[in-house]
Structure 1
Amino acid sequence: MEETKQEFKPRLGLLDATMIVAGSMIGSGIFIVSSEIARSVGGAGYLVGMWVLTGVITVIAAVSYGELSAMFPRAGGMYVYLREAYGPLIGFLYGWTFFTIIHTGTIAAVGVAFAKFTAYLLPLVGEENILFTLGDFQLKASQLVAIGVIVLLTYINSRGVKEGAFLQTFLTLVKILSLAGLIICGLVWGADSAVWNANWQDAWSLNSLTLGDSGQLVTTALGGLAFFGAMAVAMKGALFSSDSWHSITSIAGEVKNPQRNIGLSLLLGTLIVTVIYVLTNLMYLAVIPLQDIAFAKSDRVGVVAAEYIFGTAGTSIIAVMIMISTFGCNNGLILSGARVFYTMATDQLFFKKAGVLNKASVPANSLWMQCTWASLLCLTGKYNDLLALVIFGVLIFYVLTILGIYILRHRRPDMPRPYKAFGYPVLPAIYIVIASALAVLLLLFESQYTLPGLLVILLGIPVYYLAMRKKEAAA
Structure 2
Amino acid sequence: MLSVCAVLIIFLLLKMREDKTRNRKGTKNGNVIKNPETHSHQSGDEVKATALQKDVGLISGICLIVGTMIGSGIFISPKSVLLNTGAVGPCLCVWAASGVLATLGALCYAELGTMITKSGGEYPYLMEAFGPIPAFLYSWTSVVVLKPSSFAIISLSFAEYSAAPFYPGCSPPTIIIKCLAAASILLIVTVNSISVKLASYVQNFFTGAKLIIIFVIIGAGIVLLAQGNTQHLSNAFEESKTSFGAIGLAFYNGLWAYDGWNQLNFITEELKNPCRNLPLAIIIGIPLVTVCYILVNIAYFTVMSPTELLQSQAVAVTFGDRVLYPVSWIVPLFVVFSTFGAANGTCFTAGRLIYVAGREGHMIKILSYISVRRFTPSPAIIFNGILSIIYIIPADINTLINYFSFAGWGFYGVTVLALIVMRFTRKDLERPVKVPIFIPVIVVVLSFYLLLAPIIDKPEWEYLYCTAFILSGLVVYLLFVHLEFSWTRKVMGPITMHLQMLMEVVPTEEQQ
Give the Cα separation in 1 of the matches to 2:400 and 2:472: 15
| Correspondences of 1:117-266 after superposition (within 5 Å) | 117-123=161-167, 128-129=172-173, 140-189=175-224, 193-194=228-229, 196-197=230-231, 199-207=232-240, 222=241, 227-266=243-282
* Aligned amino acid, residue 309 of structure 2: I
For residue 324 of structure 2, give the secondary structure of its aligned residue in structure 1.
helix
**How far 1:173 moved relative to its partner?**
1.6
**Could you tell me which of 30, 41, 64 is aligned with 1:20?**
64
- Are 1:391 and 2:405 an aligned pair? yes
CA distance, structure 1, for counterparts of residue 485 and residue 112 of structure 2: 30
**Deviations 1:394-430 (Å, cap 9, x if unpaired)?**
1110001111111111111011111112xx2112211
Partners of 2:380 and 2:335 in 1: CA distance: 28
CA distance in 2, matches of 1:129, 1:295: 23
Structure 1 residues 192 and 94, CA gap change in structure 2 (3 angstroms): farther
Residue number among 264, 282, 294 corresponding to 1:278 in the alignment: 294
Q: CA deviation at 1:190?
A: 8.0
- Which ranges of 4 or more aligned residues in structure 1 deviate by more than 4 Å? 2-5, 189-192, 472-475
- How far off is 1:206 after superposition? 4.1
Question: Which whole-Å deviations, capped at 9, do the CAs of 1:90-129 have from their partners, x for residues lacking one?
Answer: 11111111112211111000000011111222229x8642
For 1:116, which of 124, 149, 160 is the aligned residue? 160
Instruction: Say which of 377, 382, 390 aligns to 2:391.
Output: 377
Cα RMSD (Å): 2.1
Is the counterpart of residue 434 in structure 1 residue 446 in structure 2?
yes
Amino acid at match of 2:364: F
2:123 aligned residue: 79
Aligned to 1:452: 465
Amino acid at match of 1:291: T
Secondary structure of the structure 1 residue equivalent to 2:51? coil
**Residue 359 (structure 2) aligns with:** 346
Residue from 321, 331, 338 that aligns with 1:318: 331
Matched length: 441
Mapped partners of 2:235, 2:77: distance in 1: 21
- The match for 1:417 among 431, 435, 457 is 431
Which residue identity is paired with 1:236? Y
Q: Percent identity?
A: 26
Closer/same/farther in 2, CA of residues 228 and 205 from structure 1, 3 Å limit? farther
Distance in 2 separating the partners of 1:472 and 1:361? 31
Q: Does 1:100 align with 2:144?
A: yes
Instruction: Indicate the SS of the match to 1:245.
Output: coil
Aligned partner of 2:109 in structure 1 is: 65
Q: CA deviation at 1:344?
A: 0.7
Provide TM-score, normalisation by structure 2.
0.82
CA displacement at 1:191 relative to structure 2: 7.0
Find out whether 1:56 has 2:70 as its counterpart: no
2:455 maps to 443
Displacement of 1:357 after TM fit?
Answer: 0.3
Aligned residue type for 1:228: F
Contact 1:127-1:142 within 8 A present in 2 as well: no
One-letter amino acid of the counterpart of residue 358, structure 2:
A
**Amino acid aligned to 1:461:** L
Counterpart contact for 1:189–1:309, Cα < 8 Å: no
Q: Equivalent residue for 1:134? A: none
Tell me if structure 2 keeps the 8 A contact 1:27–1:110. yes
User: 1:364 is matched with which residue: 374, 378, 382?
Assistant: 378
Do structure 1's residue 33 and structure 2's residue 77 form an aligned pair?
Answer: yes
Residue 191 to residue 312, structure 1, CA distance change in 2 (3 Å)? farther
Deviates more, 1:183-192 or 1:380-389: 183-192
Give the superposition deviation at 1:177.
Answer: 2.1
Residue 334 (structure 1) aligns with: 347
In 2, the alpha carbon distance for the partners of 1:190 and 1:376 equals 46
- What's the CA shift string for 1:408-462, capped at 9, x where partnerless? 11111011111112xx211221122222112121121233243332222112111
Q: Is the 8 A contact 2:224 2:302 kept in 1?
A: no
1:191, 1:283 within 8 Å by CA — same for their partners in 2? no
Residues 312 and 191 of structure 1: is their aligned pair in 2 closer, same or farther, counting only changes over 3 Å?
farther
Out of 28, 33, 44, the position equivalent to 2:88 is 44
Looking at structure 2, the residues matched to 302 and 237 of structure 1 have their Cα atoms a distance apart, in angstroms, of 17
Structure 1: 5+ residue runs without aligned partners? 131-139, 208-221
Distance 1:388-1:446 versus aligned 2 partners, 3 A rule: farther
The answer to which of 380-389 and 89-98 deviates more is 380-389
Mark the CA change 1:231 to 1:206 in structure 2 (over 3 Å): closer, same or farther.
farther
Structure with the larger RCO, 1 or 2 (CA within 8 Å, 6+ apart): 1
C-alpha separation in 2, matches of 1:410 and 1:292? 52
State the SS of the aligned residue for 2:325.
helix
Q: CA deviation at 1:392?
A: 2.3
Distance 2:479 2:239 in 1: 50
How far apart in 2 are the matches of 1:291 and 1:65?
Answer: 38
Conserved 8 A contact 1:392-1:443: no
* Most deviating of 439-448 and 236-245: 439-448
Q: Aligned partners of 2:277, 2:61: CA distance in 1, in Å? A: 7
Q: Distance in 2 between matches of 1:375 and 1:325?
A: 20
Q: Is the 8 A contact 1:392 1:453 kept in 2?
A: no
Query: What is aligned with 1:401?
Result: 415
**Alpha-carbon distance change, 350 to 127 in structure 1, aligned in 2, over 3 angstroms:** farther
Aligned-partner SS, 1:471 = coil
Amino acid paired to 2:365: K
